[in-house]
Amino acid sequence: MTEYLFRALFDQLAEPRIILKPDHPTFTVVSINSAYEQATGYKEEQLKGRSVWDFFKADAAGSFSAEKLKQGLEDVLRHSAEIKLPIFRFDLMGGAGSSPRWWQVELYPIIDENNSIVYITCTTHNVTIHVEDQANILESRRNEAAMLIQQQQSEKELQVSEHALRVTQDELSSERSETENKITRRTKELSDSEYRLNRIIANTPTGLCILKSDELIIEIINQSLLKLWGRVENDVIGKSILTAVPEFEGQPFVKRAKQVLGNGNQVTSLEEAVLIIKENGKQETRFADFSYDPLFDVNDKVESVLITVNDVTEIVKAKQLLQHQQEELETTNEELTAANEELQSMNEELHATNEQLAEVNQLLEEEREKNSD
């Protein structure tokens, strides 16, 4: 059950992840998740057991990027702390093609009970769209500035906030050594594996919880989700979700969890609004990406549901702000067009009036000459 839960957790994470051994300077690949395979075109059997430098080469990443990754890995070993590398370009050279791509890499040490680094997780965020969008927005601003100079009108600049999505890192259970006393050693291995898994769940920055039975009893929950809900662990463990978080009554969260427990089908909900009442009674609406994954027992029956909650409130607010600014820009453009049309009409009327005045002046001149004769 523990191995199945761990693999389900590792493979369902949205961002590409790779697990490395801390064997400097080789940094051998231990495993990759499904998102990494889809993003890069590599398969686990192609990379497992090889050095990270076998496929992260300077001809695709550039010497600067390769050096930054090397320095980041060394800093993780040196400080036993999470390292976030600056955005860099790395063009894929495998089956996924060789198109330009931009990445944000986070390195996270996995530390055992002896405070020793046993693995390093490498999370790669594909930020190509954000980089290209930023370039497109810059070009758009330049065009707007040129138009404003021609029309001698002022207009507010569009400002875009960029938020890096931080996603969870995970580790793969260490390989089981051959046993001399199979039952005893296997029990110890399972116990150790469960301990590491609980550490992963407790420390991952993405909200995680496991609900069981029709009453949706909270079996496991990590600090990230407790913080989002404004609760403490002792007040929610072993309680039903509606007892622990009564404001979820009538919200989609409960309905979807029961749906997965009933039919065993995975459900995903993106940028869903969630009303939360904090300990001080203050109501707060947050936006989150939800993933509901069924967990099966040895008889292949749904035993519980694993729920991951990724808080994307800042991203949604940024999108809403961008939409509002785009609407304001469209309104301003429409007003400028109407003003130009009105000015053209006035110019035509003025031209007609000048022609009439010229005719009157000519008639007066002829009359003056006739009178003088």
The tens digit of pLDDT for each residue in 118-162 reads: 999 989 887 777 767 665 666 666 766 566 566 566 566 655 545
d(CA 329, CA 166): 31
The tens digit of pLDDT for each residue in 258-267 reads: 999 999 999 9
Q: Among 278, 311, 344, where does a domain finish?
A: 311
Cα–Cα distances (Å) from 336 to 12, 52, 151, 329, 333, in that order, read: 50, 56, 8, 11, 5
Q: What angle do CA 9, 28, 88 make, to 5 degrees?
A: 80
34 within domain boundaries: yes
pLDDT of 309 strictly over 60 = yes
pLDDT recorded at residue 166: 59
**Per-residue tokens: 340:** 């130009």
233 within domain boundaries: yes
pLDDT recorded at residue 202: 63
Cα–Cα distances (Å) from 95 to 28, 113, 121, in that order, read: 21, 39, 23
Number of domains the chain contains: 2
Contact 87, 131 (CB under 8 A): yes
CB atoms within 10 A of CB 215: 13
Q: Which domain holds residue 248?
A: 207-311
Return the axis-axis angle of helices 182-203 and 2-12, rounded to nearest 10°: 30
Mean pLDDT of the chain: 80
- 122 plus 212 within the same structural domain: no
Q: Among 126, 153, 169, where does a domain finish?
A: 126
Q: Choose among 211, 230, 206, 195: nearest CA to 310.
A: 206
Q: Among 107, 126, 145, where does a domain finish?
A: 126
297 within domain boundaries: yes
CATH of the domain at 57: 3.30.450.20
319 within domain boundaries: no
Return the axis-axis angle of helices 313-372 and 128-151, rounded to nearest 10°: 20
d(CA 191, CA 77): 27
Is 96 exposed, middle or buried (CB count within 10 Å of its CB: 0-12, 13-18, 19+)? middle
d(CA 242, CA 247): 7
292 within domain boundaries: yes
171 within domain boundaries: no
- 121 plus 213 within the same structural domain: no
- Report the SS3 class of residue 189: helix
Phi, psi at 221, each rounded to 5°: -155, 145
Residue bearing the bigger pLDDT, 132 or 270: 270
pTM of the model: 0.40
Half-sphere exposure (CA, 13 Å, Cβ side) for 146? Answer: 6
- 212 plus 110 within the same structural domain: no
The secondary structure element, H or E, covering residue 36 is helix 34-40
Q: Mean pLDDT over residues 335-345, rounded? A: 81
- 122 plus 214 within the same structural domain: no
Q: Mean pLDDT over residues 329-344, rounded? A: 81
pLDDT of 84 strictly over 70 = yes
111 within domain boundaries: yes
Contact 68, 56 (CB under 8 A): no
pLDDT recorded at residue 204: 75
187 within domain boundaries: no
Q: What is the CA radius of gyration of the chain?
A: 31
